[in-house]
Each structure stands twice: as structure tokens, then as C-alpha cells.
Amino acid sequence: MDSFEYSPPPLALYVHLPWCVRKCPYCDFNSHPGGRESRPFDAYVERLQLDLDAELREPAARRPIGSIFIGGGTPSLFPGPAIRRLLDGIRARVELIPDAEITLEANPGTIDAAHFAAYREAGINRLSIGVQSLSTEQLERLGRIHTPEEAREAVRIARALGFDNLNLDLMFGLPGQTLDGARADLDALIALEPEHVSYYQLTVEPGTAFGARPPELPDGDLVADMGAEGAARLESAGYGRYEVSAYARRGRQCRHNLNYWRFGDYLGIGAGAHGKLSAQRAPTESTMPWRVWRTEKPVHPNLYLNADPSQPLGVRRDLSEADLILEFVLNALRLTDGFEPDLFTATTGLPWSRIAARLQAAADDRLLSLDPDRVAPTPLGRDFLDDLVARFLAV
């Protein structure tokens, strides 16, 4: 477990499309409201390609890519030809593994059959649809622009066009929501038979409309009951829980997100996109055998679009030992099955001894299951994940 033989981790690509029709009151993502007619889709796709060209000047970025995730914002605002140009440009520049997972986030309120068909033809093979609720009342409270009927129609259209890998997002702990209401919402979603479900609690974030004017939410005990009952209902319906808020049919886990949680590398292009890369160091450069760094692109679309393409785009920051340890556990301990011990050294370059004592202390407190071939959070550890991760601050 303390070996330092270098082998680069898997590589993925994240593409950020920053526009949406209307900013939801709970949303703290980098999204900017406006309709299709006001958005420079072609110019943005061209800028994304220049961004990727710049990323590929780094030798560590020139590896096969196992997944692409197109997130936002609302990527389904982009017309089909723009998504085709984007993916054609990516394929011309990088090597994709033969069965690469290519996901596009979609909003039921911006979808039509022509868009879905064009996305499918462009190479999208997985859709992630932001349903959030199948209650008319709750959708209105959340500021969503679609109806339950539009969400169901989006799934129907996707199936008719041959999409066989769908994720549906659903939130619980919504304003005024009861346990019966959360149960009905989840049952309605399960009836749509997606391959993957993201089931997560609504949180009020600073800087959002809800943050400025918080709605009345269910109390903590009720929300905990919603989460526990929801997990059980999903499990009984055949969705295995493999991460804090991710459930999937057998073999349908999101490969792109698994790469994040297993501390893999990824390129990030687009306004506000983040990336992570690893590369071996020369023996004289540092006591750390390789370096890991993060990149971040300008957040506002106009700054991103107007940046000088001849200059480095955004900022780059090398991760310290403390950063590596915290970021590794922050990701890997989200996984229900945890991680194999060798993964720590394989992705950070640090010896197991750097975290062994903290892991043992957490195991003694029944927050972790610590076996020779697997480290995993216990049910108690998952319930108190923030406290568990905090034990690895400044180790």
C-alpha cells in the first residue's frame, strides 16, 4: 500500500453549458438565465473547442477518455446541430474508449422530440433529466418551468428514440412536503422505470433566492424519515444505492460520477468548469512522486467567450498533501462500498500511513468498516458523513 509506482488514473471530460431559461430559487450552480434566441451557441461551441485544444497541450491530458458529461445550466437549450458540432470536435481531438458513456443533462421544460433525436444522432447515449418532483404544487414552489406531464412525456420521447440509459433527478425535504407526499413523489418516479435515480435532499444554499428568503422546510427528523424510507423503497424496486444520493439498476451506475468519487482525473471545459490532472514528477522536483493539480475556467459566459485564446485560460492550482488527503476522502467515502486501500496511493501518490491512524480512529467509533481489502462507511458513518470527513482536515 506504500508503493509509488506511477500509473495515471482514468480520465474523463466535463463540458459546462451555462445557460438556462430561468434560474431556480434553490440553484447555486453556474447558470445564467435567458432563452434560446439570445444565446451565442455557435460561438460558445467554437470556444469550447479552443478550450479543449489548450487543455491538450498538457501531456497528462492526452490519454483515452472514458466518459463525457455535458452539464449546466440547461444543456438541452442547445440545438441538436450545436451538440453534434461539439461532440464531433471532441472526437476529432481525443481518443474515446469504444463504449464511452456520454451524458447530457436535460430539463423537461426545454425538450422536444426533434432535440432528442438530434442528440441521439450526435452520440449522446445517456440522458440525465431534472424532474425534481412529479407534484404540480411542488414544481411551482421550486420555480421549475415544466409540469409533471412534461416530465413523463420527456421520458416517453427518450424511450421511443432508443435511449436505454436514463437518470432522473428527484428531491425530497421540499417546502411543506409531508412523508406521504415524498412517498407519492418517489413512487411516481419509480413508475417511469429509469435505469438510474438521483434522490437527494433539498438544501438551502447562500447566494440563492431561497438563501435570501428561506422557505419553510420540513423539520430534520421528518427529512431523515423521508431519506431513509426513500432509500428502502428504491432498494426494494431494484435500485442499488452506490453513493450517498445515487441509486442504479445493476450495471447502470454513472461511470462519469464514479470517476469523480474514485478520485480519477478529468478535463473541464466551459464557463466555470473545473478539472483535475495528475502527472509524474522528475525525481529531483519534490518528495511527492507526482503532482496533482486543479484547473478552473472563468465563471461568467462573457468572460469565458471573450478571453484571449492565445493565453492560458483560467487558473491552475497544485494540491498539497493536506488537499489530496481531504479531497480523496471527501469523494471516496461517499461511495456505499467505499474503496480498496490501494486506491489511495494510486491516486494521490501518498503512503497509506498518512491516513491509517485517522481511519482506525473512525473505525473504533463505528463510523467506518476497515478491512484489509476494503474501507467503507458504516450506516452510522453515512448518516454523519460530514463529521467523518472532517476528521481528515489538516492531517
* Residues 131 and 53 grouped into a single domain: yes
pLDDT at 283: 63
* Residues 87 and 181 grouped into a single domain: yes
Domain boundary among 242, 258, 274: 258
- The CATH number for 329's domain is 1.10.10.920
* Residues 249 and 330 grouped into a single domain: no
* Residues 335 and 251 grouped into a single domain: no
DSSP string, 19-78: EESS--TT--SS-EE--GGG--HHHHHHHHHHHHHHHTTSGGG-S-EEEEEEEES-GGGS
Element (H, E) at 383: helix 379-383
**Interatomic CA distance for residues 350 and 154, integer angstroms:** 46
290 part of a folded domain: no
By CB atoms closer than 10 A (0-12, 13-18, 19+), residue 257 is buried
Q: Cα dist. 93→21, 50, 268, 271 in Å?
A: 31, 11, 15, 20
* Residues 252 and 328 grouped into a single domain: no
* Residues 40 and 144 grouped into a single domain: yes
291 part of a folded domain: no
Strands 166-172, 65-72: pairing is unpaired
DSSP class of residue 344? H
pLDDT at 1: 47
190 part of a folded domain: yes
- The CATH number for 241's domain is 3.20.20.70
* Residues 123 and 243 grouped into a single domain: yes
Q: Residue 311 half-sphere exposure, CB side, CA atoms within 13 Å?
A: 10
Q: Cα dist. 108→56, 139, 237 in Å?
A: 34, 12, 24
100 part of a folded domain: yes
Mean pLDDT of each 10-residue bin along the chain, 395 residues long: 68 96 85 75 96 95 97 93 97 97 91 86 97 96 92 95 97 97 98 98 91 92 96 98 97 98 97 94 67 95 90 90 95 96 92 94 96 94 93 79
121 part of a folded domain: yes
Domain boundary among 216, 231, 258: 258
* Residues 21 and 170 grouped into a single domain: yes
* Residues 132 and 249 grouped into a single domain: yes
Q: State in Å, rounded, how far the first CA of the chain is from the last one.
A: 18
pLDDT at 284: 60
With contact defined as beta carbons under 8 Å apart, do 185 and 170 qualify? yes
Count Cβ neighbours within 10 Å for each residue of 357-391 and write b for 16 or more, e otherwise: ebbeebbeeebbbbeeeebbbbeebbeebeebbeb
* Residues 346 and 245 grouped into a single domain: no
Domain boundary among 258, 280, 309: 258
* Residues 160 and 234 grouped into a single domain: yes
pLDDT at 288: 67
Would the pTM of this model clear 0.75, i.e. be above it? yes
pLDDT at 114: 77
60 part of a folded domain: yes
360 part of a folded domain: yes
315 part of a folded domain: no
pLDDT at 132: 96
* Residues 326 and 253 grouped into a single domain: no
Boundaries of domain holding 378: 320-395
Strands 65-72, 11-17: pairing is parallel
Upstream peptide bond of 264 is cis (omega within 30 degrees of 0): no
Looking at the structure of the chain, the number of domains it has is: 2
> Residue 337: what residue type?
D
